[in-house]
Structure 1
C-alpha cells in the first residue's frame, strides 16, 4: 500500500520505513494521504480525504498503522477506535540466564512489540551490565556496555517505547557471587549481605551505572525469591533476627539510594508475602498483612504481583486483595512460558492469560508486564513466545483473543501464522496431557537429556509419546515450508528436536527389555538405532547454534553445547557398552540392572511430568 505522509516528522518517517519490512506499505507522492492526529483514544480512519492515525501516546501509532493496513485490505471507508485496558503494557526479556540478547535482536523485537502496541521493555540484567571499576561483575557473561544500552534506548524511544532497567539488589546474583571478589557482601547462596555498608556502596554503583545507561527514571529493583535471607553470614554476625525486619531495613536502604538518583522503583512483591507465611506466596485465602509493611513502602514504589501459573480467576482476585492491604500501587506480571526447556509451553501461556486479564480489569490494574524468563540455560528462543505477547496486546486493546482475531492480528504484526507459532509448543504437551496441559509439565527437556542406559525418566515414557512426537516433527516440516523466510529457522530447529525425541523416547526402555530378555541380537540392532540418533543429534546441535546466533551474544552458548555434547558422548559410550556385552566382553551392564523408578513417585508413573534442571536429568550422581 502506498501512503503520502502528510505531517510526519523525520523520526516518524524512519519508523514507517523500518516497519515496511513487516507491513505491506511504502511511501509515495501518489499514495493515500496519511496524517497523525492526537486524540483521547487510539484509532485509525479512512475517509475520502485520506487516512488518519489517532493516538494518545506515541507508542500507539504503530499498532494503529498496522490496523490501518489490515482494514484497507477489505474496506475502502472505515472508522476504528480502541480503548486500552491498561495505561502501560510492557514485556520483560530475560538477559541473565545464559542468553544475552544482541542489540540487533532487541531492536528487531522492538519493532514487533511496537506493532502490537507495547509501551515498555525491561531487560532483566542480574550481572549482565558493566559497572565501571568492577571487572568481575558480568565477566564473560556478555554484559552490556553503556554504548549498547544507549543504542537500544535511543531505538526504543523512536517508537515511543520506554526501555526500563531491571536489576537485582538482593538475590539471584549467583553468577556475581561466585567470585571471591564479592565474599564480603555475600550472605548465603545468591543473596547479598543486608546491613553491611559495603553492600550498599556496591548497590549505589549499580544505580549510578544504570542512571548513565538509560533515560528512564523508572527501575525494577528485583528483591524476589531471597528464600535464605539472613541465614548465612548475616546470622553469623548478628544472630537470628526476624527476617521481615531484615528485609524492610534492606528495602529502605535500597530505596533511599534509588531515589538519590531520581528513580521511581518497582519491585517483585513475593518476599513480603513469603516472610509472613513461612515461604508461601500464592495462598488460597487473603492474607493478614502487618500494616507496618505498607507504612514502610515509599509513595513512589510499585509492587509487582507475578503469577504465571493460575488458571482460576478467583485466585487472582484474592491475591490482588492481599496486595491492596499493603499498597494501591500494584502492577501485574504474567508469563510467556519459555523457561521449561527447548520448546515453549505455548498452550499454557495462552490458557493462563485470559483469567489473569479479567482479574486485572476487575481489580483496576493499569500496569501489566509479560515476562519471558529463560531459567536453566535459556534453551528456548525468544521469538517462539511471540503468540503470548500478541495475545496480551489484543486483550489490552480489543479485549479479545478469539482464534480468528489472533490469526489476523498476528499475521499483521509478524507476517506469520498465529496457529503455526502456537504449535511450536506441541512437544510440551503429550497424549496424557493435552493442551493446555498440567502446570509446568514440559517433557522435552528430560526426553532430550536423559541417558540412554540409565534414563531417570524411563518410567514416564510410552509408545504413544513416540508416535505423537513423530507427528509433531511432520507438522513442523509443514509449517516451515509455509513460513516466511524470517521464521523458518524456528520450525526447522523444533522439527529436528522433535525427530530426535521421537527416536530416543522409547529406546532406553527397549534396550533394557532386550538386555533382561537376553536378546543380544536385539541389542546389536539398538546400536544401529543409536547411530541414527547421533546423526539427528548433529543436526540438532547445528540448528541450536544457528538459532542462538540469531538472538544472543556468544556467551552462554557454551552451556548448551556442553549439554548436547555430553549427550553425544554418552551415545558413543552406550554403543561401546552394548557392543561389548553382545560380544561377551562384559558379563553384565550394571546400569541396565536397575529398575526404572518414577521420578516423582509411583502415582506419576506413565505420565509426562515436570522437567527438572539438566544436572538432575542426566544422572542420579553428584554434580
Structure 2
C-alpha cells in the first residue's frame, strides 16, 4: 500500500513534471475509457499520431519483450498497423523496465519518468507526448500493467489516428486481484477458454486466477473420479500455469476438501468416507489419505504459494460418524480439527499456505483461534448488502490475512444479476480495502450446470475496477467505459444493454431470471392472474427488446472479442422468449376457448383452432432454435461433458409443446368430423390463475336449480341457485367467491343465503357478504362451504335477493376488522385475533383464543418480528393498507409496499388460518414465533412436521444455523405440541423448500432460498386430530390450482300469492 509520505512525494514529483496548464483543447481525463481507471491521470496538450511506420523499443528482458508484443498485437488489431519487431532499448540508467512507441523517423530516447513511490511491483508510469509513448516501471509486472493501459488507449480512446497526450501514474489498491471459473458443476472449460480468461483478465490488470474443483480433474491415482470427457488434465494445468506466467498472473490451486464432496462419495469406492450427504467424514483416517492423493496431483504443478481447500457449507457435519466427537467438543471443534489436519498436510508436505472459505468458522467463532494464523481466509457473501464488515472484522481483528470474495451472481440464472453483482462487488471490496484485505477473489458458480462463462465478463471487469481502485468508481461511469475497453465499440451500446438487463431480475413473475423459470412452461398457468401475466410479459419485452437492439449494435461495431456478445445475446433472447411464450401461451388458450364458445359456427371455430395451433407451433420452433444455438455456444467454451443434461431440458420442453400440439390437431380433426371439442384442461390449454380465487362460475345454465324448493324468504322476490362441487379430495371449510350476474347485482337491496338439503326440504342460513361497489355492475358474493366437505359431493345454495326485508346475517363465527393504533388493522373471529401492521405488511400479533389468547408471534411491532415476513427490501418497507372486505364471511386487506409488492391478506369466519397471496412469487417467507412456545427451551417442546411425512423434534435455538430442520419439495411445514397447539405454513400449489426453526431469529415456519410461491396459508390454532390430517386437508381446501367447480343457475322470481 502507498504510505502517506510516499503518496505526497509521488504527487509532488508528478505535479512538477506536468505543471503546464491544460490546453484549452485538452479533453478532461474523465472522458477516457479505461478499466481499471488509473490512480492519477493528467491530460496534456497535443496528440500522438498512430502513423503507419511506428516502431517499438523495449528493455532487453524476455518478459519485457512479451509485454511489447501485446502492444504490437493491439496496434495490429485496432489500427491495422504492421509494426516491426521490437528493438532493444538501453534504459536501465533511468528506467529498469521501459517501452517506447515512436514514429519511424524518430529515435527511442529513454527519459526519466516519475514512478509512483509505493510498495507494489505493479506500479508504473505512462507518458504520451506528440513525439512518443513511454511506459516505465521498476518491475516487469509494472511494465505489463502499463502496456495494458496503453492497449486500452489504442483500442478505445483514439480520435481519428491520434492518442491524447497525457501522463499516468498508477498502482493497485489491493495486492491480489483475481477471479474464478467453476469447472466442476458440469461445464468444463476448454484449455483455450481458460487461457483466454487469463489473458483477458490480465488486460484488466487482474493478477490471479483460479478454477473451482470438486471432481472434474483427471486424477491418475483415482481415475474413477473425473469424467473422461469433462476433466482438467495435469498437462492442461501445466500449460495454463506457463501461459499465465507470461501475463504476470498466478494460478491458485483449488480442491474441495470437506463439503460438496458428493460427486466423489457417490462412487462405491468412497462411500465409506461419507459423513452425511456430500460431506467427507473427518473421523475416518482414510479421508486424509484421499485428500493427500488429490493434492499430490495438483499442488506440485502450481508455483503459487497458496492453495484453496474450500471447506464451505458443511451442513450436516456432526450428524454422521463424527457425531460422538461433535458431542464432546462441538461441531465447531470437529470442523477446526479437520482444518488443522489439512493445513499441516499442505504446509509440511507440499509447502503450500492454506486458503479456506470462511463461512463455517464464522458460525463457530469460539473455534476461530484453533485455525492456524498463517491461514488465508476467504470471506464470501453474494447479497447486495450495504456493508460486509461483519464478515471481515472477525478475521481482521484476529490477525488473519484475508481476501474478500464477492460474486457475479451468475449461478442458476439466464444472465447474471448485474444489479446485485455490482452492489455486492463494490461494497465488499470497499469494506475489504478499509480493513486491510490482501486481495479480492471474484467468484462465478455453475450450480445447475447450465450457465456459460462469457456473460460473467461484466462482473469480472467491474471487480477488476473495484480491486484496483478500492471501489471508488461509479457504476454508471464504468458502464460508459466497458464497451470501448472490452469490445472496442465506439459507442456505449454494451453498457446501455447491461443497464437495461439489470432491471429484468427484479421484474415480478420471472423469479429473478433463474433458469428454473425458463424451463417451467405450463400452458396457461398464471402465478397471479391473466391480466398480471400479460402485464409482466409486456414489461419484460419492453426492456429486453431494447437491450437486444443495443447488443446487436455493439456486435456490429465490435473490433475485438465480438464473439463474447453472442452469449449476452443468447441470454437476452431466452428472456425475450419467456415474455413471448407467456403471451403466446395465453393467446393459444384464449383462441381455444373462443373455438369452444363459437362451436356452432364451424368456420369461425376452425379458424380459432388454427390460431391456437400456430401459436403453439411458433413457441415450439423458437425453443428448438434456442437449443441449437445453445449447443453451438457450449462447444465454443466447453468440453462435451454434461451438455446432454441441458439438451434433455430442451427436449422436455419441446416434447411438452409437441404433445399439446398433437392433442390440439387431433381435436381439430375430430371437430371437423362432428365430434364436440374436448375440455381445455384435457389438452393443457386451460388458463389457471394461481394467485386469485376464481370468481367466475365453472358452469352457467339458464334453468333454475331447484324450482320446486319452497320460497324461504318471502320478503325477497328473487333467487338464484349455486352449486359447489368438492372434487376428488376432502376439504375443510371452503371459501367461495362468485361474481353475481348483472341482473342480480342491480337488484341487491337486500339478500339472504341459505344452504339447500339434497332432498330440497330444508334451507339453512349461511353467513355471507356481498362486496364491490354498490352502484357498480360487478358484485361478488362471498361465503364458506361448511366442513366437512366430502370428496365427490356437491352442496347447493339459494341466494335470495331483492329490495324487501333482509334477515339478520350474523354468526358467533363471523370475522371482522377494525382500526388499531399506529395505522394497524385488527382482524378477529372466534378462533384468532391478529394485528396487521403497515411495516412490511406483517402480522404482528396472532392470539389463539382456544389457548388462553396465547400470542404465537415473536414479540415486537417492527423489523422481523411477527408473521408474513418477506425479508430484504420488503421487511421494513411501509405498506399502504386498504380494506377491501370487512366481513362477516371474510376480511380482506390489500397491503402494498414501496417496491410495488402487494400482499392480499384474507381471514375467514370460524377458522384459525389466514391466506396471503402476492402479486409476484417470492422464495422467502417466514413466520417468526417465540422460542418458548415450541423449542426445547420452553415448557412444552414440539415436533417439526413436513408434508412428506418427515418428523423431528424442534431443535434448540442454541444450535444457531443448525437449529433449522429443512425439507425440499414439500407443500407445508409445521410445529405441533402434544396439547394440540399447531403453527404451520402452507404453499398449497408449490412444492417449496420449507424450514422449521426453534423460533426467534432462526424462524418458526417458513421458506427460504426456495422455488418462489405467490400463495401462503398460515395456520395457528389448536387441533384435536393429527396435524398431518388437518394440514393435508387444508392444502386441498385452499389450493388455487384445484378450486372447487361452481355452477350458477338461472334466476327465479317469486310468484304473487
Q: TM-score, normalised by structure 1?
A: 0.85
Retained in 2: the 8 A contact 1:447–1:457?
no
Cα shift at 1:557: 1.2
Indicate how the Cα distance of structure 1 residues 245 and 456 shifts in structure 2: closer, same or farther if over 3 A, else same.
farther
- Equivalent runs, 1:420-569 vs 2, <5 Å: 420=494, 423=497, 426=500, 429-430=503-504, 433=506, 442-443=512-513, 445-453=515-523, 455=525, 457=527, 462-471=533-542, 472-473=544-545, 475-483=547-555, 484=558, 485-510=562-587, 518-519=596-597, 521=605, 522=608, 525-569=611-655
2:435 to 350, 356, 363: 363
Residue 690 (structure 2) pairs with residue 597 (structure 1): yes
Distance 2:278 2:231 in 1: 18
Matches within 5 A, 1:5-404: 5-18=57-70, 20=73, 24=79, 27-28=83-84, 31-32=101-102, 33=108, 40=118, 41-47=123-129, 50-55=132-137, 58-71=140-153, 73=158, 77-140=165-228, 142-235=230-323, 242-259=330-347, 260-274=349-363, 276=364, 289-290=365-366, 293-313=367-387, 316-379=388-451, 381-398=452-469, 399-404=472-477
The TM-score with structure 2 as length reference comes to: 0.52
Choose 152-161 or 349-358, whichever is displaced more: 349-358
Q: C-alpha separation between the residues in 2 aligned to 1:362 and 1:473?
A: 41
- Secondary structure of 1:187's counterpart equals coil
1:568-609 per-position Cα deviation (integer Å, ceiling 9, x unaligned):
111111223344556457556356679543699976633265
Please identify which structure carries the higher strand content. 2
Q: Provide the secondary structure at the position in 2 that maps to 1:219.
A: strand
CA distance 1:69–1:489, change in 2 (3 Å): closer
Contact persistence 2:384–2:420 (CA under 8 A): no
Counterpart-to-counterpart distance in 2, 1:421 and 1:565: 34
SS in 2 for 1:78: strand
1:171 is paired with a residue whose SS is coil
Q: Tell whether the 8 Å contact from 2:493 to 2:551 is kept in structure 1 after alignment.
A: no
Number of aligned residue pairs: give it.
Answer: 596
- CA deviation after TM superposition for structure 1 residue 338, in Å: 1.1
Describe how 1:611-622 pairs up with structure 2 within 5 A. Answer: none
- 1:383, 1:506 → 2: CA distance? 30
CA RMSD of superposed structures (Å): 3.6
Q: How far apart in 2 are the matches of 1:488 and 1:209?
A: 36
How much has 1:387 moved relative to structure 2?
1.8
Structure 1 alignment gaps of length 5 or more: 277-288
Q: 1 or 2, which has the higher helix percentage? A: 1
Kept after mapping to 2: 8 A contact 1:153/1:163: yes
Note closer, same or farther for the CA distance 1:456–1:328 as it changes in structure 2 (3 Å cut): farther
Q: Is the 8 A contact 1:427 1:498 kept in 2?
A: no
Q: CA deviation at 1:235?
A: 3.8
Quickly say closer, same or farther: Cα 1:573–1:233, change in 2 above 3 A: farther
CA contact (8 A) 1:267 1:301 kept: yes
Deviates more, 1:572-581 or 1:154-163: 572-581
Higher RCO structure (Cα 8 Å, ≥6 apart): 1
Greater displacement, 467-476 / 247-256: 467-476
Cα–Cα, structure 1 residues 401 and 386, in superposed 2: closer, same or farther, change >3 Å? Answer: farther
Residue 226 (structure 1) shift: 0.9
Post-superposition CA distance 1:246-293 (Å, at most 9, x none): 11121111112111211101110111133x3xxxxxxxxxxxx32xx2
**Structure 1 residue 492 displacement after superposition:** 3.9
1:577 alignment partner, SS class: helix
CA distance in 1, matches of 2:534, 2:501: 14
Aligned equivalents of 1:329, 1:605: Cα separation in 2: 45
Question: Given that residues 424 and 476 in structure 1 are in contact (C-alpha distance below 8 angstroms), is that contact kept between their aligned partners in structure 2?
Answer: no
- Partner secondary structure for residue 206 of structure 2: coil
Q: What's the offset of the Cα at 1:383?
A: 1.8
Structure 1 residues 424 and 456: CA distance shift in structure 2, 3 A? same
Compare CA radii of gyration and give the structure with the larger one. 2
CA distance in 1, matches of 2:468, 2:660: 55
Give the direction of change, closer, same or farther, for the CA distance of 1:249–1:372 in structure 2 (3 Å limit): same
Distance 1:176 1:415, change over 3 A: farther
Deviations 1:1-31 (A, max 9, x none): 4441321534443454356256657633795
Farther-moved stretch of structure 1 (527-536 vs 227-236) = 227-236
Task: Give SS of 2:656's match.
Answer: helix
Distance verdict in 2 for CA 1:326–1:49, change over 3 Å: same
2:658 — aligned with what?
572
Contact 1:496 1:539 in 2 (8 A): no
Secondary structure of the structure 2 residue equivalent to 1:91: strand
Q: Which moved more, 1:114-123 or 1:420-429?
A: 420-429
Counterpart of 2:617 in 1: which secondary structure? Answer: helix
Change (3 A) 1:503 1:99: same
Seen in structure 2, the aligned counterparts of structure 1 residues 263 and 452 have a Cα distance that, compared at 3 Å, is same
Deviations 1:471-527 (A, max 9, x none): 313531442243224334224423432342222123445555667785574565322
Q: Partners of 2:426 and 2:237 in 1: how far apart?
A: 34
